[in-house]
Amino acid sequence: MNIKLSPSILASDYGALRDSVRLVEEAGADYLHIDVMDGRFVPNITIGPPVVRALRGSSKLIFDCHLMIEEPDSMIDAFAKAGADIITVHAEAARHLQRTLSHIRSLGKKAGVALCPATDISALRYVLDDIDMALVMTVNPGFGGQSFIPAMRQKVADLKEMIADRPIDIQVDGGITLDNLGEITSAGANVIVAGSAVYKADDPHEAVRLFKAGGRHE
């Protein structure tokens, strides 16, 4: 299977962001996962469009922006302009989800929807034609370094079945390591977010290589 790796800069040194991005780009990452938190949807605040714009100037990676924010409609244009390539909103935060997704696509960007662990995949059933990626949160959003929630493996498998042959990527985010990567990808995930497992590894470059090779047990 063609696995795409999207390292999350949430786990990197924010004081040296440009170097952190360059590191994973040179190591062979496919995307850059940018966690945007507003202190309302999740109890944490991270970065906004100015930082995305600053990084855009020095990276060719696909910018995968995960908006953990309330009322995402108000920020979509700003992230699109700043250089996002994929814009993912939470189903729990977008009141008129289909409209939001159409808007993202109208800006020429890929549209994603994220589901918190307790949210049923049925939230996606009637917007399958409007999305390029479905993000299964494998931890509760808000922080890096949490443990993978085992029930999410079945959720990924159920989602894979629902998606059938549509061209929709399944992304997983939270607690993914080289040790559980195999079970997640065999359930159907093909875009892997990894924060701590890349940036806190002894050798992040090697960690990227191992993720791309399918993990430790394959």
- Give one DSSP letter per residue of 136-203, joined into a string: EESS-TT-SSPPP-TTHHHHHHHHHHHHTTS--EEEEESS--TTTHHHHHHHT--EEEESHHHHTSSS
Residue 196 touches which of Zn ion, ligand DX5, none (Cβ within 5-8 Å per kind): ligand DX5
**Residues 6+ positions from 49 with CB-CB distance below 8 Å:** 75, 78, 79, 81, 82
Interatomic CA distance for residues 87 and 67, integer angstroms: 7
Verify whether residue 35 is a known catalytic residue: yes
Instruction: For the CB of residue 129, give the shortest distance to ligand DX5 in the complex, in Å.
Output: 25
Judged by beta carbon, residue 200 or residue 217, the one nearer Zn ion is: 200
The answer to whether 177 touches 207, Cβ cutoff 8 Å, is no
| 35 makes contact with Zn ion (CB under 5 A) | yes
**By the criterion CB under 6 A, which residues form the site for ligand DX5?**
8, 10-11, 33, 35, 66, 139, 141-146, 173-176, 193-197
Q: Of the listed 38, 64, 132, 173, which one is catalytic?
A: 173
Nearer to ligand DX5, 49 or 141 (CB): 141
Q: Using CB under 5 A, which of 66, 109, 153, 160 touches Zn ion?
A: 66
CA–CA dist 85, 73 (Å, integer): 16
- Give the shortest CB-68-to-ligand DX5 separation in angstroms: 6
Segment interacting with Zn ion (CB under 5 A) among 74-82, 84-92, 150-158, 165-173 = 165-173
- How far apart are CB 35 and Zn ion at their closest, in Å? 4
d(CA 124, CA 127): 5
Residue 173 annotated in active site = yes
| Catalytic sites, residue numbers | 35, 173
The footprint of Zn ion (CB under 5 A) covers 35, 66, 173
